[in-house]
Structure 1
Amino acid sequence: MTDTRRKIRVLIVDDSASVRMTLSEIIGADPDLEVMATAADPYVAVERIRQEVPDVMFLDIELPRMDGLTFLGKIMSQRPIPVVICSSLAEAGSETLMQALEAGAVDVVAKPRVDTTQFLQESRMRICDAAKAAAHAKFRGVHKPPPPAMNIEAKLTADAIIPPHSDARAASVRAKQPDTDPIICIGASTGGTEALREVLEKLSISSPGIVIVQHMPEKFTNAFARRLNGICAVEVREAADGDVVQAGRVLIAPGNQHMVLHRTGSRYTVNIVDGPHVARHRPSVDVLFRSASQVAGRNAMGIILTGMGDDGARGLLEMRQAGSYTLAQDEDSSVVFGMPKEAIQRGAAAKVVPLARVASEIETYGRTALRTGTMT
């Protein structure tokens, strides 16, 4: 039987013929995607867009005749299209990519790596997932038909990194859990960089310690953390193994590694660990949230923000069941409502709030939770 579903149409803009060919092969091999056209520079891309508007555009930053950042600004001001930045600058953690996200790009991926079969496979997964997520992205004032349904592939759960507690053991841990300072755990994906900026900019230096998983490329998380650190009252840094979670500090999981919360006495630290992709991501929100459910429980607050897929939904439910206070971002303020929607449908979120209220929820929790579980 012929598959008549409409595929997500992708425009590739890159001056390298080999990159255009590799991206075309990767995207064209996915049953949910098709390459609408390719272009070697923004001027050719404009002509292609005049003929047919793509669902998603993959855009390099370093381009001839007009740089990608300038082109992105023009696209966003004249005819917004979901844009995924695909650049070698991602591997260097370039500040330019942060500017691209602030200008309206919905995601950033590194150019496909062909060093080994594993790296190529991971590049394929990340690129195709980014295209599908971008197709779901919303722009204020822009209305478009919903993207086509996608194939659902099997994926590993947090069991691959952290064994689950049995029901009896989980109940025993909850009963014996001493009070500690509150801790905030946040997960986000597509659209999350700007959502996190909006939240963290509003926090005071006395806010609870925060640990974050944001899906993004390796090394780029360091540039992201540095940029936030320069505009926020709280200290923001890329997490390193053994870092202490404390009031006024935000730790962001490094790209391509999982972050696990660890507890010694009343102090929390983070462990940075390798391992397979969980829920198709590394770092995975589910891994962080499961660790928080097991070591923090009622002393923690879990928050799931904008993003595609279901990473974090299971973990947030585990946190709620362990006594944590849990939130999900609402649909209207989410660039992509996938992750919050999954969490809400599973009953993982005690409360659903717009992005503009997340910071105040964190501050209120830090002042009033008092480690008694009264906010669960």
Structure 2
Amino acid sequence: MIRVLIVDDSATMRALLQARLEDEPDIRVVGSACNAVEARELIKLLDPDVLTLDIEMPGMDGLTFLEKIMRLRPMPVIIVSGSTQAGTANAARALALGAVSCYAKADRSGSLLLHDQGALAALVREAGQVRFGPAWPVSPQVEAQVRKSTQTATSLVAIGSSTGGVEALRSLLPEFGTDCPPTLIVQHVNARFAAAIAESLDQVTRAQVVLATSDTRLERGKIYLAPGGDRHLLLGRAGNGSYRTVLRDGGLVSGHRPSVDALFHSIAALDVPDAVGVLLTGMGKDGAEGLLAMQQKGALTIAQDEASSVVFGMPRAAISLGAAEIVAPLGRIADHVLGRKAA
């Protein structure tokens, strides 16, 4: 049973969120709070497994409260956000602070969603599997597992991530410079938050992070984030040995759209020389088979280690297939990706 505490200043929203969870046999709402002060006391009293948190609250706002939670008592937090530009920007900031996912309380017009087809319950189940440990530790024994030396001329980087991925990307991407290899990223996230996440990532790296559009020729120094929604981000040829982004409609692949597997398989199919595939923290197994396909075509393949992953599902699946040639803590992945020798 996953025990949930709902924090929202709106009584209507608290009731609506509870209604969406109360019929789930494996989820129980143990309490609700209207502000951060009340929530803090209920967290101590009830010890919930998962917290849903509104950002815009009187007194201490949700972002400030989230920052305190992640510093003093880390726990899985689902941000409940509006669809306004400010709301999506704050949701991106919340993911960077350690929230495991975001849930949209309204549609793009701002109207409350009457039905969510089980979306909130699915996020709660995912969050319920998150276990927080020390932040991004470096495990000495992991370096002994490295079976391939770092590359020296990376031509293309592809990264897949899910739960905990935005925070991981904010740690990894500052290492990418203005002349970094063109980089494609699939991060599992609601499409309405993708643009704000791209903007937030752009602020922490010298490279330029943009939301991917179709038929864009890849350039060095640019990082392309999948926009989500009903299209997969793939790699295509652009002529003269160059490559381009492709956004393609399609069904779910490995349970997701956009899918990390879809991206990785498209790169393997083009047999890109000196490519690097990276699988970061995330729930499930999306990306594992695609990473194996890239490895079989000669790409360098890297999986984040368990100690530094919020959720070890996706990296674990890749490692179990033998798809990851390097297993490394988050703080060392950029050295392998960019061809720097680890100290």
Normalization by structure 2: what TM-score? 0.84
Classify the secondary structure of the residue corresponding to 1:94: helix
* Alpha-carbon distance in 2 for matches of 1:349, 1:79: 33
1:361 corresponds to which residue?
A: 336
1:135 corresponds to which residue?
A: 128
Query: Are the counterparts in 1 of residues 83 and 192 from structure 2 also a CA contact under 8 Å?
Result: no
- Residue 208 of structure 2 aligns with an amino acid whose one-letter code is E
2:4 corresponds to which residue?
A: 10
In the TM superposition, what are the counterparts of 1:77-116 in structure 2 within 5 Å?
A: 77-89=71-83, 94-111=88-105
1:327 corresponds to which residue?
A: 302
1:126 shift after superposition: 4.0
1:114 shift after superposition: 11
Uncovered stretches (5+) of structure 2, i.e. residues with no partner: 136-152
State which of 201, 220, 223 in structure 2 corresponds to 1:228.
Answer: 201
1:273 shift after superposition: 2.5
- Residue 244 of structure 2 aligns with an amino acid whose one-letter code is T
Q: 1:232 to 1:328 in 2, by over 3 A?
A: same
Classify the secondary structure of the residue corresponding to 1:364: coil
* Alpha-carbon distance in 2 for matches of 1:90, 1:33: 29
The answer to whether the aligner puts 1:339 opposite 2:314 as a matched pair is yes
* Alpha-carbon distance in 1 for matches of 2:119, 2:235: 25
1:242 shift after superposition: 1.3
State which of 204, 219, 236 in structure 2 corresponds to 1:262.
Answer: 236
* Alpha-carbon distance in 2 for matches of 1:111, 1:233: 34
In the TM superposition, what are the counterparts of 1:166-245 in structure 2 within 5 Å?
A: 182-245=155-218
Classify the secondary structure of the residue corresponding to 2:339: helix
1:373 corresponds to which residue?
A: none
1:88 shift after superposition: 0.9
Q: 1:120 to 1:68 in 2, by over 3 A?
A: same
Same amino acid, percent of matched pairs? 43
Classify the secondary structure of the residue corresponding to 1:85: strand
* Alpha-carbon distance in 2 for matches of 1:301, 1:108: 29
* Alpha-carbon distance in 1 for matches of 2:264, 2:87: 26
Q: Which is further off, 325-334 or 70-79?
A: 70-79
Query: Are the counterparts in 2 of residues 93 and 221 from structure 1 also a CA contact under 8 Å?
Result: no
1:62 shift after superposition: 1.1
1:93 shift after superposition: 6.1
* Alpha-carbon distance in 1 for matches of 2:338, 2:114: 43
1:74 shift after superposition: 3.0
Classify the secondary structure of the residue corresponding to 1:245: coil
1:247 corresponds to which residue?
A: 220
Query: Are the counterparts in 2 of residues 98 and 224 from structure 1 also a CA contact under 8 Å?
Result: yes
1:89 shift after superposition: 4.4
Classify the secondary structure of the residue corresponding to 2:203: helix
Aligned residues between the structures = 319
* Alpha-carbon distance in 1 for matches of 2:335, 2:123: 30
The answer to whether the aligner puts 1:69 opposite 2:53 as a matched pair is no
Note the aligned Cα RMSD (angstroms).
2.7
Query: Are the counterparts in 2 of residues 91 and 219 from structure 1 also a CA contact under 8 Å?
Result: no
Classify the secondary structure of the residue corresponding to 1:233: coil
- Residue 314 of structure 1 aligns with an amino acid whose one-letter code is E
* Alpha-carbon distance in 2 for matches of 1:35, 1:230: 37
- Residue 356 of structure 1 aligns with an amino acid whose one-letter code is G
Classify the secondary structure of the residue corresponding to 2:191: coil
- Residue 276 of structure 1 aligns with an amino acid whose one-letter code is G
Normalization by structure 1: what TM-score? 0.77
Query: Are the counterparts in 2 of residues 82 and 105 from structure 1 also a CA contact under 8 Å?
Result: yes
Uncovered stretches (5+) of structure 1, i.e. residues with no partner: 1-6, 143-179, 368-376
1:344 shift after superposition: 0.8
Classify the secondary structure of the residue corresponding to 1:37: strand
In the TM superposition, what are the counterparts of 1:39-54 in structure 2 within 5 Å?
A: 39-54=33-48
Deviations 1:209-263 (A, max 9, x none): 1000011122322122122222311111111111222221100000323211111
Q: Which is further off, 271-280 or 183-192?
A: 271-280
* Alpha-carbon distance in 1 for matches of 2:211, 2:125: 27
